[in-house]
Amino acid sequence: GIATKLESAGIYDLMGLAVMSPSDLADLAGVGQAVARKAIQAARGMMELGFSDGAEFDRKRKDIHYITTGSENFNELLGGKGLESKAITEAYGAFGSGKTQLGLTLAVNAQLPKDQGGANGKAVYIDTEGTFRPDRIRQMAEALGANSDKVLKNILVARAFNSDHQILLLDKITELIKEQEEPIKLVIIDSLTAHFRAEFAGRGQLADRQQRLNRYLHQLMKLAEQHNLVVFVTNQVMSNPAMMFGDPTTAIGGNIVGHASTFRIYLRRGKAGSRVAKLIDSPNLPDNEAQFYVTEAGVRDDA
């Protein structure tokens, strides 16, 4: 029936229904637009969505949690405690700049207790490039004195073979969140854009690519908000020959990804094996830089 169709589309609760658009719901459930609209309105009515006063808004902000990057400098750049839940944090940068290493570090740190900068939860890792490294996770876990088998078990990894598969896996995450006894607190997409870029390479396909990316990012944001998740995505750069000064690199997906990401970080190699993270266009934080290192133990302040 309709309930099964909704479930298979990743909609399990009132919130899932309330935030849908009538046309999406009509497509998914195979019902008319009018029926879909009524169902959504009913869900919204039950949830009392809409405006909330300042106190209510404050309460919703209160359950936001953070996951440490492993570097105090880097955490400071992001406001003090690391990556924030109910938000998308994007790291873009050249090959070897440390995007994947940061993702692996976060997958370990998510499992730390709250007083050590973690979220006491599991991580989901969507791997589009086959770069997930169990051995690296073990190294990082052992550096923290943790049981490396247990840490690895708490990271749910899926390889996404193309962009359609990558999109499908988002629904799977919703299922996983329902099934797990220990909560999932972090979702990593490494890389967000690689499949989209490869599959929609032609000039005439740019609009289509951007539209799909946009839709995907909105689904991700919805997931982050509904389940209070930290979402970390990585992105490649392309060289921008039109730019004459500074670092001539631009993130793939451009403004679409930029607008959907709450925090945007540009990573590059720094002096003497260091790395530099720069915050880009943040609405409420300064565009500062932070120096860090990728060490055996993961992301750290010092080499």
Q: Which is nearer to ligand GTP, 25 or 267 (CB)?
A: 267
Contact 261, 269 (CB under 8 A): no
Letters for 127-156 (x = contact with Mg ion by CB under 5 A, - = none) are ----x-------------------------
Binding residues (CB under 6 A) for ligand GTP: these are 93, 95-101, 131, 236, 294-296
Q: Which is nearer to ligand GTP, 96 or 254 (CB)?
A: 96
Choosing among ligand GTP, Mg ion, none, which partner's interface includes residue 296 (Cβ < 5 to 8 Å by kind)?
ligand GTP
Residue 155 beta carbon to ligand GTP: minimum distance, rounded to whole angstroms = 16
Residue 204 beta carbon to Mg ion: minimum distance, rounded to whole angstroms = 29
Residue 291 beta carbon to ligand GTP: minimum distance, rounded to whole angstroms = 15
Which residue, judged by CB position, is nearest to Mg ion in the bound state?
100
Choosing among Mg ion, ligand GTP, none, which partner's interface includes residue 16 (Cβ < 5 to 8 Å by kind)?
none
Q: Which is nearer to ligand GTP, 65 or 300 (CB)?
A: 300
Q: Which stretch binds Mg ion (CB under 5 A): 39-47, 100-108, 248-256, 286-294?
A: 100-108
Q: Which is nearer to Mg ion, 29 or 294 (CB)?
A: 294
Site residues (CB under 5 A) for Mg ion, limited to 223-282: none
Q: Which is nearer to Mg ion, 40 or 102 (CB)?
A: 102
Q: Which is nearer to Mg ion, 194 or 213 (CB)?
A: 194
β-sheet with 184-190: strand ranges across: 155-159, 122-127, 184-190, 230-235, 87-93, 263-269, 275-279, 289-295, 298-300
Residue 16 beta carbon to ligand GTP: minimum distance, rounded to whole angstroms = 32
Choosing among ligand GTP, Mg ion, none, which partner's interface includes residue 93 (Cβ < 5 to 8 Å by kind)?
ligand GTP
Neighbours of 249 (CB within 10 A): 17
Q: Which is nearer to ligand GTP, 10 or 93 (CB)?
A: 93
Choosing among Mg ion, ligand GTP, none, which partner's interface includes residue 97 (Cβ < 5 to 8 Å by kind)?
ligand GTP
Q: Does 100 help bind Mg ion (rule: CB under 5 A)? A: yes
Q: Which is nearer to ligand GTP, 43 or 141 (CB)?
A: 141
Residue-wise DSSP of 180-244: -SSPEEEEEEETSSHHHHHHT-SGGGHHHHHHHHHHHHHHHHHHHHHHT-EEEEEE-EEE-TT--
Choosing among Mg ion, ligand GTP, none, which partner's interface includes residue 274 (Cβ < 5 to 8 Å by kind)?
none
d(CA 275, CA 268): 6
SS3 content of the chain, % helix, strand, coil (to 5): 45, 20, 35
Rg (CA), the chain: 20
Residue 291 beta carbon to Mg ion: minimum distance, rounded to whole angstroms = 20
CA distances in angstroms from 303 to 66, 271, 295, listed in the order given: 24, 12, 6
Ramachandran angles phi, psi of 167, nearest 5°: -65, -45
Contacts 24+ apart (CB under 8 A), 217-223: 217/88, 217/192, 217/256, 217/257, 217/260, 217/261, 218/260, 219/167, 219/170, 220/88, 220/170, 220/187, 220/189, 220/260, 221/88, 221/260, 222/19, 223/170, 223/173, 223/174, 223/187
Contact positions toward Mg ion, by CB under 5 A?
99-100, 131
